Amino acid sequence: MRLFQDNLLQVLDLTLRSLRIVDVTQTLAQVLDTPGDTQHKIMHSARFLKEFSHGLHQKWRLRAEKLAYGLVTRDEQRMGLWEHEQGRSLFEVITCYPYDKEDDTEFIDVMFDYNNTDRCKNKMRERPSEPFSREAWLAKKRTNTAEQRERTPLGDIRRVAPEAYRNKWRENYLALSGTPLKQFQGRDMFTVGDFANPADRRSVRSYNLTPEHVKMLHDNIISWLRHDEKGVTDQKERPFKVDKLGRVKLDALTTVFYHQFRHLLDESMELDQGAWLLVHIMAWFPSRYIFWCDKSDWEQPCLQTRVPEMVSAAAG
């Protein structure tokens, strides 16, 4: 109980400190114009808000994300870009965070002292062996921070090139949306697999759809990609993992579809044909989806080779 109450106050304290700093920081250029110690404080504050973003207004979430991903130390730039870790140990954050005196909040300090002395009337709470002094703790923390900076300087803060994270996460994939997806449509929205070029056909069979089928499938696909749907995307026997870019493997999406709607369309439909049906549906709504295709596959002339490995929903 004592650990929970202390951690709760630490989160509140760090949140208030970080919000004050991020609130007056609009751009990355503004960060780079500040003194070195302030740059590091802004970077740590933004990273904390990015990793502990529950309950924050969208303004703070977006601002923190821009600053957290846009700033990197010299060593991080050389060894690899920073990546957020949801649920990072609070002790690790406290160890790195600079507790500058000008950012102290009086009522937070009072709450810390009250929670760690015999004045606290919570009978479920573990009594401290000796009275806790928030002032002494902060003084020790500031001394340790200064000593740590001397032993292992963080180095200059650098601005991350916008394409750096895109290249890191996209790896060898092309992100395609809009017009490039239309080549997967075929000649008719309501006929799957009807291509003018016979080499582009998935099988000798084609599947006919009704307008109701198309709407139902599109509505469900976009919902699965944008939201976790209880009882559908959370089944252990159906792998459905959304990565940090909101991408889902096409075969995982097909597995969910196969279990949900196969009986409504055609009981004889095979799993790989179901994947082609999903590609067909998404291709007819090209501005709503993003296809993630392997660069080497996309260079091939065969349409079947160009089928995406992953898909995601476009924003909006």
Q: Answer whether 233's CB lies under 8 Å from 240's CB.
A: yes
The mean pLDDT value for 61-80 works out to 80
Q: Which of 121, 144, 164 is the last residue of a domain?
A: 164
Are both 285 and 308 inside the same structural domain?
yes
H-assigned helices in the chain: 2-23, 28-32, 36-51, 58-70, 74-79, 90-96, 106-115, 134-151, 162-170, 211-226, 250-265, 271-283, 295-298
Are both 180 and 94 inside the same structural domain?
no
Domain encompassing residue 179: 171-313
Q: Six-digit token pair at 236?
A: 């252990």
Are both 149 and 19 inside the same structural domain?
yes
- As for how many domains the chain has, the answer is 2
The mean pLDDT value for 28-51 works out to 87
Are both 69 and 191 inside the same structural domain?
no
Are both 263 and 181 inside the same structural domain?
yes
Are both 271 and 143 inside the same structural domain?
no
Three-state SS string over 143-168 comes to HHHHHHHHHCCCCCEEECCHHHHHHH
Are both 218 and 156 inside the same structural domain?
no
- Coil, helix or strand for 268? coil
Are both 24 and 77 inside the same structural domain?
yes
Contacts of 46 (CB under 8 A, 6+ apart): 18, 22, 63, 64, 65, 66, 67, 68, 71
Are both 94 and 185 inside the same structural domain?
no
As a whole number of angstroms, the distance between CA 296 and CA 282 comes to 22
Q: Write down the pLDDT at residue 115.
A: 65
Q: Write down the pLDDT at residue 88.
A: 79
Q: Which of 144, 164, 184 is the last residue of a domain?
A: 164
Q: In what order do the strands lie in the sheet with 173-176?
A: 173-176, 289-294, 310-313, 248-249
pTM of structure: 0.52
Are both 137 and 212 inside the same structural domain?
no
Split at pLDDT 50, 70, 90, the class of 289 is: very high
Q: What are the φ and ψ backbone dihedral angles of 300, each rounded to 5 degrees? A: -80, 145
Residue 58: CB atoms within 10 A of its CB come to 8
197 alpha carbon, distance to own chain's centre = 40
Q: Which of 134, 164, 194 is the last residue of a domain?
A: 164
136 alpha carbon, distance to own chain's centre = 38
Are both 288 and 261 inside the same structural domain?
yes
313 alpha carbon, distance to own chain's centre = 14
Q: What percent of the chain has pLDDT over 90?
A: 6
Q: Write down the pLDDT at residue 72.
A: 83
Are both 113 and 204 inside the same structural domain?
no
Q: Out of 42-51, 140-149, 250-259, 301-310, give the one with best mean pLDDT.
A: 42-51
Q: Write down the pLDDT at residue 1.
A: 41
Mean residue pLDDT of the chain comes to 78
Q: Out of 22-31, 164-173, 190-199, give the one with best mean pLDDT.
A: 22-31
